Amino acid sequence: MSTAAVAPAPRKAPRFERSKALLRSPTFVVGVLILLFWVACALIGHWVVPQDPYASDPLNSLTPPDATHWFGTDQLGRDVFARVIVGARDILTIAPLATLLGTLAGTAVGLIVGYFDGWVDNVIGRLIDAVLALPLVIVALLALAAVGASNVTVILVIGITFTPITARTVRAAVFAERNLDYVLAAQLRGENAFYIMFAEILPNVLQPIIVEATVRLGYAIFAVATLSFLGFGIQPPSADWGLALSECYTLMAGGAWWTVVFDAAAIASLVVGVNLVADGIQGVLER
């Protein structure tokens, strides 16, 4: 009696397996929940806050947290809770756009430098090393002092300063790929360098680029807050967290701790959330 051969079950795609692994990662899930909370605040916060975040009330200035003003009021009588919620909007617009700019530009530069090697690598690689030797905040401050502070210039400056960092990561990944068989086969077929870099090599170096982008997003959030605190980032009357810290940190000495603590906690929680997501993604991709 013959038995029918049982066909083997189809192998699950690696992408599906990684998606399941991400959803099973507590680090990733917690980070995503934190990010979703702040994204929701950025999108609909101005519709759900109980007070107008921009309305001044001098008679109720520096009121401690109570049933009416959950996080108290600042020196102008503005509701701190409403400003913290609405303040997520600018930073969650500028930081991702700056990260996207730096990632795209850095990926293009890294592919070119890593693929061509030789004098191209020597010249551009040395320029990248020279830029990376300078502190990010100092470079951003000098650039913003020269061109003026606005949301667009902050995006451009942070994106450009992130470009060499991403380029170095992509360059190292391309070095590991450029002599593999699939690249040599494309060269033998007569494919041009642009096609080989972006159609052949790029899909195989996406993992480090994704990890780098998530890490850079955390740095971008901190950079935006730092520049706003120093007066070179987001400008008034925005409810931006870094700007709020700059306006209110001197009030801590007088006991008005609530004007600073909640904005600082918002920045910290957002950065932690992004870093948790980055750690979760990196842990899954390295398996």
pTM (predicted TM-score): 0.86
Measured distance CA(221)–CA(240) in Å, rounded: 11
Q: Which residues pair with 73 in a beta bridge?
A: 79
Measured distance CA(282)–CA(143) in Å, rounded: 32
Q: Residues 14-62: pLDDT tens digits?
A: 666 777 778 788 899 999 999 999 999 999 988 988 888 998 888 888 9
Residue 128: exposure state from Cβ atoms within 10 A (0-12, 13-18, ≥19): buried
Q: With a cut of 70, say whether residue 77 has pLDDT above it.
A: yes
Q: What is the pLDDT of residue 32?
A: 95
Q: What is the mean pLDDT of residues 201-209?
A: 91
Measured distance CA(6)–CA(258) in Å, rounded: 68
The letter for the amino acid at 96 is: P
Measured distance CA(112)–CA(168) in Å, rounded: 11
Which string of b and e fits 134-164 if b means at least 16 CB within 10 Å?
eebeeebbebbeeeebebebbbbbbbbbbbb
The letter for the amino acid at 66 is: D
> What is the Cα Rg of the chain in Å?
24
φ/ψ (deg, to 5) at 110: -65, -40
Q: With a cut of 80, say whether residue 92 has pLDDT above it.
A: yes
Domain architecture of the chain: domains with CATH? 71-285 (1.10.3720.10)
84's tokens = 């913290």
Q: What is the pLDDT of residue 9?
A: 39
* Residue found under tokens 């070095």: 175
The total of other beta-carbon atoms located within 10 Å of residue 272's CB is 14
Q: With a cut of 50, say whether residue 6 has pLDDT above it.
A: no
